[in-house]
Amino acid sequence: MRTTRLPTLSLVVSLLLLSACAVPRPPEKADAPMPPTWSNPLPASTAPLPHGGSLPTLGQWWEQLHDPLLVDLIFAAESVSPTVASAGARIAEARATRVAAGAALIPNLNGQLAASRGNSPTSGFTGTSTSGTTGLSTSLPILTTGQAGLQSSWEIDLFGGLRANRDASQARLAGADARWHDARVSVAAETANTYLDERACRRQLVVSTSDAQSRAETARLTDLSMRAGFTAPADAALARASAAEASGRLTQQRAQCALLEQALVSLTGIEAPVLRARLEAAPIDVALPAVQAVHSVPAEALAQRPDVYAAELGVAAASADAGAALAQRFPRLTLQGSIATVQVRTGGFRETFDTWTIGPLALNLPIFDGGTLAANEAAAKVRYDEAVALYRASVRQAVREVEEALINLRSTDERAEDADTAVNNYQASFDATQARFGTGLASLFDLESARRTLFASQTSRVSLQRERAEAWVALYRAMGGGWTRPESIATTAPAAAPSSP
DSSP secondary structure, 168-235, as one string: HHHHHHHHHHHHHHHHHHHHHHHHHHHHHHHHHHHHHHHHHHHHHHHHHHHHHHHHHHHHTTSS-HHH
Q: How confident is the model at residue 455 (pLDDT cuts 50, 70, 90)?
A: very high
Average pLDDT over residues 391-413: 88
Q: What is the CA radius of gyration of the chain?
A: 39
Query: Has residue 40 got a pLDDT over 60?
Result: yes
| Residue 296 pLDDT grade (very low, low, confident, very high; cuts 50, 70, 90) | low
Residue 45 has pLDDT above 50, yes or no: no
Q: What is the pLDDT of residue 409?
A: 86
Question: Among the listed ranges 99-108, 341-350, 365-374, which one has the minimum average pLDDT value?
Answer: 341-350
Q: Which long-range contacts (CB under 8 A, 24 or more apart) does 487-494 make?
A: 488/55, 492/55, 492/56, 493/56
Pick the more confident residue, 471 or 137.
471
Packing angle of the helix pair 233-268, 444-478 (nearest 10 deg): 20
The confidence score (pLDDT) of residue 295 equals 56
In this structure, how many other beta carbons lie within 10 angstroms of the beta carbon of residue 410?
A: 17
Which sign, positive or negative, has the C-alpha torsion 486, 492, 498, 501?
A: negative
Q: What share of residues in the chain are helix, strand, coil (percent, to 5)?
A: 60, 10, 25
β-sheet bridge partners, residue 332: 364
pLDDT band at 144 (very low <50, low <70, confident <90, very high): confident
The phi, psi pair for 349, rounded to 5°, reads -100, 135
What pLDDT shows up at residue 121?
53
pLDDT at position 21, please?
64
Mean per-residue pLDDT over the chain, rounded: 82
Kindly report, residue by residue over 16-28, the tens digit of the pLDDT: 555 556 788 888 8
pLDDT of residue 499: 38
For residue 440, what is the DSSP state? T
User: What is the average per-residue pLDDT within 428-434?
Assistant: 91
Contact 77, 191 (CB under 8 A): yes
Average pLDDT over residues 200-212: 92
- pLDDT band with cut points at 50, 70 and 90 for residue 138: low
Say what the pTM is.
Answer: 0.78
- Are 12 and 361 contacting, i.e. CB atoms less than 8 angstroms apart? yes
pLDDT band at 485 (very low <50, low <70, confident <90, very high): confident
**Contact present, 470 and 193 (Cβ < 8 Å):** yes
Is the pLDDT assigned to residue 104 strictly greater than 70?
yes
Whether 493 shows a pLDDT value over 90: the answer reads no
Contact 381, 321 (CB under 8 A): no
Please give the distance of CA 242 from its chain centroid, rounded to a whole number: 50
Given a cut of 90, is residue 205 above it in pLDDT?
Answer: yes
User: Does residue 199 surpass a pLDDT of 70?
Assistant: yes
**C-alpha separations of 145 from 110, 343, 344, 398 in Å:** 20, 6, 5, 70
